[in-house]
Structure 1
Amino acid sequence: MSQPKILVLGPPGAGKGTQSSNIVEAYDVDHITTGDALRANKDMETEYGTPRSFMEAGELVPDPVVNEIVKAAIEDADGFVLDGYPRNLSQAEYLDDITDLDLVALLDVDREELVDRLTGRRVCDDCGANFHVDFAPPEEEGVCDECGGELIQRDDDTEETVKERLNVFEENTQPVIDYYEDEGELVRVDGEQSPDEVWDDLQDAIEDAI
């Protein structure tokens, strides 16, 4: 059969990137993220202009442009895992019109756990390697295992910023979750387990769906 078409939903810090990579490796599908799709097609002409024209002006790329970019990426893929799209209800309705998904999976993680995960992240200022003060600490506190560089907390990983990011997610994307739940398409996966346990449950859901 054809390769699966999977949508992974979840708030920042839920592990979408990790699990999407697992899906890509296991099922040989494309990993489609809005950011990557926009960067790869920033000069694509749409009736609203190119993504580059909005990005260079520091503006949000409007939904119709994002939709066309994602549609092009989906049409080029034999199978895919979508991560970071749709971000709102109108994008979800558009996605329904252009493709049939095999699985919509939500990585379910409590808000308090998300704050702990995101505020504990540390990034090497030199090589960009990622660590976590609790889950993946460096051998020496504040020092990168890879290159010896200084580990820093990014501005968007402070508690105030993290909570605002989660508020934005809940405001924009909760209607998407409700939409798929109402359609009976949503499969919830406990995202508070270890990454391997999450993958076991997610893979079971994929196998059931296909």
Structure 2
Amino acid sequence: MSQNVLILGAPGAGKGTQSARIAEEFDVEHVTTGDALRANKHMETEHGTPASFMDEGELVPDPVVNEIVRAALSEADGFVLDGYPRNLSQAEYLDDITDLDVVLYLDVDEDELVNRLTGRRLDPETGDIYHVEYNPPESEEVEERLVQREDDTEETVRERLRVYRENTRPVIDHYEERGDLVRIDGEQTPDEVWEDIRETIENEA
């Protein structure tokens, strides 16, 4: 039986890594807002196309994002949704268009998130991402050319986390109050986090 899974968590909590594992293990679609918008950027909605906002560097408004997500979910036979809903009105819209089997929240302390995000380094030649502490490159040559992306500086990271808390806290409260939220300790190793997630989804099946 296909599962409809929602995964929530702050930037740096590990949603992308764990979503990919969920998609593979349970044979469901990995739906991210960014991918859905890029794949459907010319889709006509009554509020315009996503491209009309993205090309101007503007945030795509909720009604357009909502329609794109609805289209992506309607085509999926089971999914793990990552990066949506970002606010309470999106969560309420999601309630109207689909039934969720599991809502996971990767719980990670803010200082740990800052450590994870500010430690990320990019290899400009290959596009590979490393981490100074958790995943350093084996080659000295690679290490010497690594750069920190602008959005991974501490000031930018703390601002991203503040915006995330402000917008997404009500979403977490929404699912917690309904008794649907399962908190996963996101500070464990990725494999330990995965074991908790897999067990949770299997128990809900």
TM range (shorter): over 0.9
Partner of 2:169: 174
Deviation, structure 1 residue 130: 1.0
**Aligned with 2:147 (options 149, 152, 176):** 152
The letter of the residue matching 1:117 is R
For the Cα contact (< 8 Å) 1:42–1:52, is it kept in 2?
Answer: yes
Alignment of 1:124-143 (within 5 A): 124-140=123-139, 143=141
Deviation, structure 1 residue 140: 4.2
Deviation, structure 1 residue 9: 0.1
Partner of 1:201: 196
Gaps of 5+ in 2: none
Runs of 4+ in 1 over 2 A off after TM superposition: none
**Aligned with 1:185 (options 180, 184, 190):** 180
Fraction of identical pairs, as percent: 68
In structure 2, the residue corresponding to 1:122 is in which secondary structure?
strand
The letter of the residue matching 1:56 is D
For the Cα contact (< 8 Å) 1:129–1:144, is it kept in 2?
Answer: no
Alignment of 1:3-14 (within 5 A): 3-14=2-13
For the Cα contact (< 8 Å) 1:89–1:173, is it kept in 2?
Answer: yes
Work out the number of aligned pairs and report it.
Answer: 205
**TM-score, reference length from structure 1:** 0.95
2: CA distance between counterparts of 1:132 and 1:82?
A: 26
Alignment of 1:60-71 (within 5 A): 60-71=59-70
Alignment of 1:36-75 (within 5 A): 36-75=35-74
Deviation, structure 1 residue 139: 2.1
Partner of 1:96: 95
- Across the aligned residues of Structure 1 and Structure 2, the Cα RMSD in angstroms comes to 1.1
Gaps of 5+ in 1: none
2: CA distance between counterparts of 1:38 and 1:144?
A: 33
The letter of the residue matching 1:124 is D
